[in-house]
Structure 1
Amino acid sequence: MQERSNMARKYQYRGSALPTNDSSAAGGLSARLVGLVLALAWLVAAGTSYVWNLGQLDQRVEALALSHARVAHQKHVDYRAWVAKRGGVYVEASDMTPPNPLLEGLVSERDIFTPSGRHLTLVNPAYMSRQVMEESGRADGILSRLTSLDPIRAENKPDAWEAAALESVERRGEAHAQSVSLIDGREYLRYLEALPVTQACMPCHEQQGYKVGDVRGAIAVAVPMQALRDDLAPERTQLVWSHAGAALGGLVLIMVLTTLLSRAEAQIARRNADLATARDAALADKQRIEDSHATLVQTHQQLLQSDKLASIGKLAAGVAHEINNPLAFVTSNLGALEGYTRRLTELIATCEAAADKRDPEALLAAIADADLTYIREDLPGLLQESREGLGRVTRIVHSLKDFSGVDQTPRQPADLNAGMESTLAVVWNELKYKARVVRELGELPLVDCLPAEINQVFMNLLINAAQAIEEHGTIHVRSGCATGGVWFEVEDSGVGMSDDVKRHVFEPFFTTRPVGKGTGLGLSISYDIVVEKHGGRIEVTSEPGKGSVFRIWLPVG
C-alpha cells in the first residue's frame, strides 16, 4: 500500500508540473525580452569596441609623431656633430648665409677671401643647425630649433613649454621631455632632448662657463598632429563602417534568432497542451499501473532472497539485453538530432553571411531549405523518446546495484580465489573474444575483507586488461602469499602504457579511451577499495608495446 501511495503521488506531481496554454504568451514575452537585452548588449559592445579602437588610432598618431620627432632630432644631432668635428665649414657669403656676427672676435678667420676674390664665411655648428632646421621645416612641416635657458642668441630664448622642458632636462637630469600642446592654435607633439656640451662647442661657449659634458641646451622638435591624422583617415573611416556593419548585422541576427525562439516557445506550449491531455489518460490507467508495480515489487523481494551468485550470469545477460534495447533507439535519435544540428548550424552560417551582405532573399531561401517546420515538429518526439530510453537504462542500473548489495556487504573472511573465479564468470563475455585467460592461482588463506568490493576490483582489472588488447592476446591471472598478506596479479599482452600515463592512471576520470568509451573511474575506485578500505597496495608495471601488470596486495588480518 505504501508503494501504491508513492506511485500515486508521483503521477500527481508530474501532472501538476505540466504547464498550460497560458504559458505561451509569457513565452513570447520572454523571447522578445531576451532579444531586446541581447540587442542592447550588442550595441553596447559594438560602441565600446569602436571607442576603444578609436583610442588605439589616437595612440598610433601620437606614437608616429614621437617617432618623427626622434628621427628629426637625431638628424639635427648628426648634422651638428659632423660640422663640429670639422671645426665648422666655409660657405660663400650671401643674403641666405651672411657672416655670423656672434663669431666676430671669437674666431680669427671668420671671413676669408679666395685668390679669385670669392668671399667665404665660417658656418659653425649652431649656425648650420638653424639653417637646416628652417629649410627642413619648410619641407615637411616639422618645427625644430635650438634653445637654452642661457642662450647666446636672443632668438634661442625658450617659450613657456620649452622652459619647463629645459628645467626637467638641465636641472633634474631627465633624458627628454614630450607632450601634446598647441602652437598658434594647432596641435603638435612637442619633443625636447638634451644636447650635451662637447669639446667642439667650447670656442663659442667657454666664455659662458660651460664645461665638456654639461647639459646647457637642447634641440626642440614640434611635429604637427593633423597631417598624421589625415594619413590615418581611411582607417578611421573603415573603423566606422566596420563597426556600423557589425552592429547592424548583429541586430539582424538577434532579430532572426528571437523570431525562431518565439516560434519554438509557441510549439512547446502546444506540446505541453498535448501532454496535459495525455496526463488525463494516464491518471485513468493509474490503478492498473499501481497493481503492476506492486506485483513487480513483490517479485523483486523474492529475487533478493534467492541465490544471487547462481543467477548472476542470467542477470548479466538480461541487463545487457534490457540496456541495449533503449540504447538502440537513443542512438538512432542522436543520429537524427545530429543531422538537425548540422542543418541548423548551416542555417546560422548562411544567416550570418546574408546579414553581412544585406541579402534578405538569401536569408529567406536558407530558412526555407532548412525545413524548420519539420524539425520543430520532430524534435519534441525525439527528445521524449530519448529521455524515456535513458530513464529505462537508469532504472536498470539502479536495480543491478541493489541486487549486488555492494554498500551493505559486511566484512568477513573470504576465499579470494573463489571470488576471482566468480568474477571471471561474470565478465567472461567481455574476455572470450579478446584473450585466452591463463589461471595461475596459488593456495591462499581466508582474508578478512569486503568480498563484493574486492570482486569489483577484480572485475575492473580484468575488463581493463581485455580493453588493452587490440586484437587477440593472453591474460594471466595469478595469486599467492606474501609476508603478512596475499597478492593477485592481472597481466595482459596489450599495448602497454607510457610513464606519463602510469603517473595518472589512478586519478579519477583519467582515461586513454576515446570520449564516450570509458568513465575513467574504474582504477580510481579500485585504488580506493584496496588502499583506503583494506589498507593494501596496488601497483602497475608497464611498457609501451609490452603489456601491463597490475598487482594488488591485501593484509590477511
Structure 2
Amino acid sequence: MKQRSRAGGGPTKSRSVAAKARTRGSAPKPARASASAGAKAKVAQLALELQEARERQAATAEVLSLISDAPTDLAPVFDRIVRNAARLCQSVLSAVYRSDGERVHLVAYDQFSPESVAAVRKAYPAPLSSGNLISVAVRERRLVHEPDVLVSGGYSELQRTSGYRSILVVPMMRDEVAIGAIAVMRLEPQLFPKVQVELLKTFADQAVIAIENTRLLTEVQERTRQLSQSLEELRATQDGLLQTEKLAALGRLVAGVAHEINTPVGTSLTVASAFVNKANRFEVDVASGGLRRSTLTEFIGASREAASQIIINLNHAVDLIQSFKQVAADRNVSDRRRFDLGEVTEQVVKGLRSGLRSENLLVRVECEPNLAMNSYAGPYGQVLTNLVINSAVHAFPDGVRGSVHIAAQALGKDKVEVLFSDDGCGMTADVRRQAFDPFFTTRRDQGSTGLGLHIVHNIVTSRLGGRINLETEPGGGTTFRIIVPREAPPEFTAK
C-alpha cells in the first residue's frame, strides 16, 4: 500500500509543480512587454538623434564645400548658412551680420516677410554702441540667448513684424575680435537646445573661415597684381636690354622672370591652400566635439608655420624684383662724362681688393696710359665688378687660389679693347653657350640668380655701345674680350 501511495502520489505532485511553474512563468509578461516598448522607444529616439546629427553634418559639409568652391564669393556661403540655421534650429528667422568696427550690417537673412525686410532695412546698419541684441553680442564678444525678449526687454521693430519671442545670437570671432554675428529667432518663448547652440557656433566659425579665406586670397591677389605690374615694367625695358646680338634671348628673359617670380608666389599660394584645408579639418574636429589639446596645439603651430612661409616667399619675390631691375641698366645710374680708362679701372679694382671675401684671388691691372673716354664710368665699373665676382664664385670654387688679369689698350683711333682673363677652371662648351643668358647659373643652390654675366653683356652692348666675346675651355681659364668706342654713340646717350 505504501508503494502504491508513493506511486500514486507522484503524478499529483508533478501536476502541482507544473501548475506552480506556470504561475511563476505567467507573472513577468507585462514587465517584459514594458521593457520591450521602452527599448523600441529608445531605439527610435537614437535613430532620430542620429538622423538629426547626419543632417547637421551634411549642412556643415555643404557650407565647407561652398567655401572651397567659391573662396572669394561670400554671398552663397552666407545664404546657405542662414537657410540651414533656420531649418535645423526650427526658427522663424535667421540672419548673418557683419561689423565694420563702428556699425553692424545685415548681409544675409532667411524667412523674412516683406514687413520684416522693411523693418530691418530701417534698423540697419545699427551702431555698434546701441542696445540692439546683435550689437551687444558683437560689442561684448559673447553669446546672447534670450528665452523671451518681451520679458528681457529685447523688443524691436523686427520683433513686432515677425512676432518672435526667443533669440539666439552667436558672435563670429577672429583672433579675439568679433567681426559679425549669426542669429536665429523662434516664436516659442523658450531657450534653444544645447545641440542647436553648438550648431550655430559651428556656422559662426564657418562664416569666419569664409571671410578669412576671402581676405587672404584678396591679399594674395593684390600682391600678385603688384608683382605682375612689376613684371610688366620689366617687359617694358626689354627693348633696351638686348638691342644687338641678344635679341633671341628676349623670350627666355620673360620666361625666366615669370619663373623666378612665380616660384615664391606659387609656394605662398600652396602654403595658404594647405592651411585652409587644415583649418577645414580643424573645424570638423570642433564641430564633432572631438577636439583635443594636441590637435589645437598642432593647428596653432601649423598656422604660425604657414604665415612664416608666406612672408619668407613673398619677401624673396620682392628681392627678385630688385635684382631684375638691375637688368635694365637704368640710364640714370651714371652721367656720361670724360675719364681715363686706366684710372677708372685702377679705382674699381682697388675697391674690389678690399671688399673681396677670398684672400686667395689676386687681381692685376695692366692698362695703356692716356685712354681718354667720353662714356659712362659707372656702368663700366659695374662690368668689371660683375666679372671679378663671377670669377671669384665660379672660376675658383672652394677657396682655390687663382688670379685675374685685366688689360686695356687702344684699338685703332676710336676704340679700346679690355681683356679680362682668369686662370680658373674654365667652362664646358654647353655652359659657354649659355653664359650670357638670363637666369642661367651652375650655382643656383648657393644663391646665384644667373644675372651677373647677363647684366655685363647688356651694359657693354647697349650702354657702352660695344661688344663682348667669351673664350674658355675646361681647365684652361676664361677670357672676356670687350671692345667699346671711346665716344659713346648718340643713341646710347642718357636722356
Which TM class, normalised by the smaller chain length?
A: 0.3 to 0.5
Greater gyration radius? 1
Q: What TM-score do the two structures reach when normalised by structure 2?
A: 0.37
Q: What TM-score comes out, normalization by structure 1 length?
A: 0.33
Higher relative contact order, structure no. (Cα contacts within 8 Å, ≥ 6 residues apart): 1
